[in-house]
Amino acid sequence: MILFESPDYFDPMNKPECLCLRGTAVIRHACGLLLCLSFLFTGLNQVHAQDIELGNPSMESPLLAPLPPAPWKRFEQSPDVQPGWVGVNTPPMDGNTYIGMIAGAVWSERLAQELVTPLRANRSYTISFGLAFPERYFSAPMCYGGMVIYGANAPGEKGDVLWQSGIFTHKEWRTYKATFTPEKDYKYFVFGPYRDSTCKQMYSAVLVDNFSPYISEVPRISATARNTCKGQQEGQVSVDVTAGTGPYQYHWEPGGYKDSVVSHLDKGNYRVTVTSASGANASQEVMVGEYEMTADVQSAELRCYGDKGKITIITAGGENPYLFSMNGGATYQKSAVFENLQPGNYDLAVKDVFSCVLKIKQFNIPAIERMEVQSVRTGAASCSNVKDGKLEFTVTGGTRPYTYEVSGVPPGPDSIIVPLESGEYTYRITDQHHCEIRGSTNVSRESRECAVLMPNAFSPNGDGMNDIFRAKIHDAVSDFRMTVYGRWGQLIFECRNPDTGWDGTQKGAGVPAGSYLWVVTYTDSKQQAMQQQGTLMLVR
């Protein structure tokens, strides 16, 4: 093999169809062929952050050269510069040449390039390229196409698989994009075909062309979302790029937003795609949720008239810290407790750190009605030396039941206090919550002899005067019974309550005017059994 350095243009065979550019070498092959090889210097490769430039990414080479020129190197068995060799005639995807490779059970062809900056562990990279499948190679049928990308640190080592295409049989060129994350640093970028047990032929084959100029570091992104308030458009999404090559382009869907931070969003799912200066991109989806604040409002029960109320708002949902209002949001405070409140309605509101507001309208602190003694009815002692006076209270307000306490008498729930001596009494009435009212009153005594008096006539004509026949009791009696009989001794009326009388009817119908017999029995204040009887005249 003879190596020549070419001038600007050189025709080694004195033929116009063979021209070599300056900076190439002319090689006289053993079979007499003259080949033009490009000298490419790895020192000219550039690195953009972790976007690593590939030399000769389209693998341009003189036709029928054994390998594309440096910086490409054979890593295992030698691939072939195509088209036009061993029966492969697929046109290039880009430029003039590409690489054909085969893999068998004991034969494997791989090509490599030493990178000026190694692939770094735990960083993500992407590279694109074209792949096609040659049905025949060396006139032999191939089972399928498939390519593997490896990372290696020394020529000839097995290397670690970074990416694998999967098998395919499309004969036309298709663009593939490989994205991978090395687990350790690698100095060599290596690729080649693969064959597995599913292959029924002796070899698999692949055609490779048009690598992208850079192995681009995929932007490493972290997208976050802030929820929106319920029923509002207060959501926010943002993305932070922690690795890659800027400047970056941002694209959010839905909406088509172009900024790294987007505000005033509805709830829903949003997807951001970040594209670096090299064209590498990464995507991530985030969800804008909806803050739904809830509040449990607790109010201390008012016990007595004049007590002041207290409201405590217990909030869930939203984001701390919260602010609280008792006037519909006009003013806020940090404390969730409102004290010294008058009974009435309050428009409460809670606002979280993102200004989401929950309103609770017309929360009521119920008023307690003032306890009042509406009346105290006194019953005088009916006659001399008799203890049958009474007090009867009518009370409103407070919280039932009431307890009545009169001086000298044990407290109890009965509003009628009997029997009482004549004299002055103080009273104390309390409700369920021990709220109280106090006062005093007097029980008098009738200055007369003790007796039960019966009238001898009445006129039940509805004029409001003397319409009822009843006993006039001036004694502390018990076991009272009054009966009225007709002319023939038939029972017409009976009662056992001295306050009840006869209205001159029988079974709802008026009886005739005339004379009737009455009988009254009772036990007097001296515990004597007494009976009185007489006649009365019913006047119509």
Given its phi and psi angles, is residue 32 left (phi above 0), alpha (psi -120 to 50 degrees) or beta?
A: left
Over residues 455-481, mean pLDDT: 93
Closest CA to 205 of 65, 63, 85, 72: 85
pLDDT score of 248 = 93
Question: Is residue 215 very low, low, confident or very high in pLDDT (cuts 50, 70, 90)?
Answer: very high
Over residues 241-267, mean pLDDT: 92
The C-alpha angle with vertex 346 and arms to 343 and 350, in degrees rounded to 5, equals 140
- DSSP β-ladder status, 24-28 and 34-38: antiparallel
Range(s) for CATH 2.60.40.1080 in the chain? 220-291
- DSSP β-ladder status, 147-152 and 228-229: unpaired
DSSP 469-523: B--EEES--EEEEEEEE-TTS-EEEEES-TT--B-SEETTEEPPSEEEEEEEEEE
Tell whether the model's pLDDT for residue 278 goes beyond 70: yes
Contact 112, 99 (CB under 8 A): no
Report the C-alpha gap between 103 and 202 in whole angstroms.
Answer: 9
Tell whether the model's pLDDT for residue 17 goes beyond 60: no
Pick the CATH number of 372-443 from 2.40.360, 2.60.40, 1.20.120, 3.40.1350: 2.60.40
Per DSSP, the three-state class of 305 is coil
CA 454 to chain centre: 83
Contact 35, 65 (CB under 8 A): yes
Q: Which residues fall within 8 angstroms of residue 86, CB to CB, at 6 or more apart?
A: 80, 100, 137, 138, 139
The CATH number of the domain covering residues in 220-291: 2.60.40.1080
Q: Which two tokens stand for residue 433?
A: 């919550």
Residue 205: CA count within 13 A, CB half-sphere: 27
Q: What is the pLDDT of residues 137-160, one digit of tens each?
A: 988 999 999 999 999 999 888 899
Q: How many CB atoms lie within 10 A of CB 536?
A: 18
pLDDT score of 244 = 76
Report the C-alpha gap between 237 and 259 in whole angstroms.
Answer: 10
Residue 67 dihedral angles phi and psi, to the nearest 5°: -150, 155
Domain 451-538, CATH 3.40.50.300 — does that match?
no
pLDDT score of 379 = 87
Closest CA to 341 of 319, 321, 312, 369: 312
- DSSP β-ladder status, 214-217 and 51-53: antiparallel
Tell whether the model's pLDDT for residue 430 goes beyond 60: yes
Question: Is residue 518 very low, low, confident or very high in pLDDT (cuts 50, 70, 90)?
Answer: very high
Q: What is the pLDDT of residues 335-349, one digit of tens each?
A: 999 999 999 999 999
pLDDT score of 460 = 95
pLDDT score of 319 = 86
Tell whether the model's pLDDT for residue 41 goes beyond 50: no
Q: Which two tokens stand for residue 203?
A: 């070899």
Q: Which two tokens stand for residue 1?
A: 């093999």
Rg for the chain, CA atoms, rounded: 56
Give the CA distances from residue 106 to residues 74, 102, 135, 173, 329, in Å, rounded to whole numbers and listed in that order.
17, 11, 20, 27, 80
SS3 readout for 340-385: EECCEEEEEEEECCCCCEEEEEEEEECCCCCCEEEEEEEECECCCC
Q: What is the pLDDT of residues 57-114, one digit of tens each?
A: 999 999 888 899 999 999 999 899 999 999 999 999 999 999 999 999 889 999 999 9
Looking at residue 73, its amino acid is K
What pTM does this model have? 0.50
Report the C-alpha gap between 488 and 498 in whole angstroms.
Answer: 25
Tell whether the model's pLDDT for residue 42 goes beyond 60: no
Report the C-alpha gap between 102 and 195 in whole angstroms.
Answer: 9
- Beta bridge partners of residue 4, listed in sequence order: 26
pLDDT score of 66 = 85
Question: Is residue 273 very low, low, confident or very high in pLDDT (cuts 50, 70, 90)?
Answer: very high
Question: Is residue 447 very low, low, confident or very high in pLDDT (cuts 50, 70, 90)?
Answer: confident
pLDDT score of 171 = 97
Tell whether the model's pLDDT for residue 122 goes beyond 50: yes
Range(s) for CATH 2.60.40.1220 in the chain? 451-538
Closest CA to 382 of 223, 228, 522, 280: 522
pLDDT score of 357 = 92
Report the C-alpha gap between 218 and 241 in whole angstroms.
Answer: 10
More confident residue, 323 or 383: 323
pLDDT score of 386 = 81
Over residues 259-268, mean pLDDT: 95
Domain 40-217, CATH 3.40.109.10 — does that match?
no
What's the CATH class of domain 294-365? Answer: mainly beta
Contact 257, 250 (CB under 8 A): yes
For the chain, the residue count is 540
Q: Which two tokens stand for residue 238?
A: 């943002």
> What is the overall mean pLDDT for the chain?
88
CA 122 to chain centre: 35
Residue 405 dihedral angles phi and psi, to the nearest 5°: -130, 120
Q: Which two tokens stand for residue 131?
A: 């792949």
Looking at residue 348, its amino acid is L
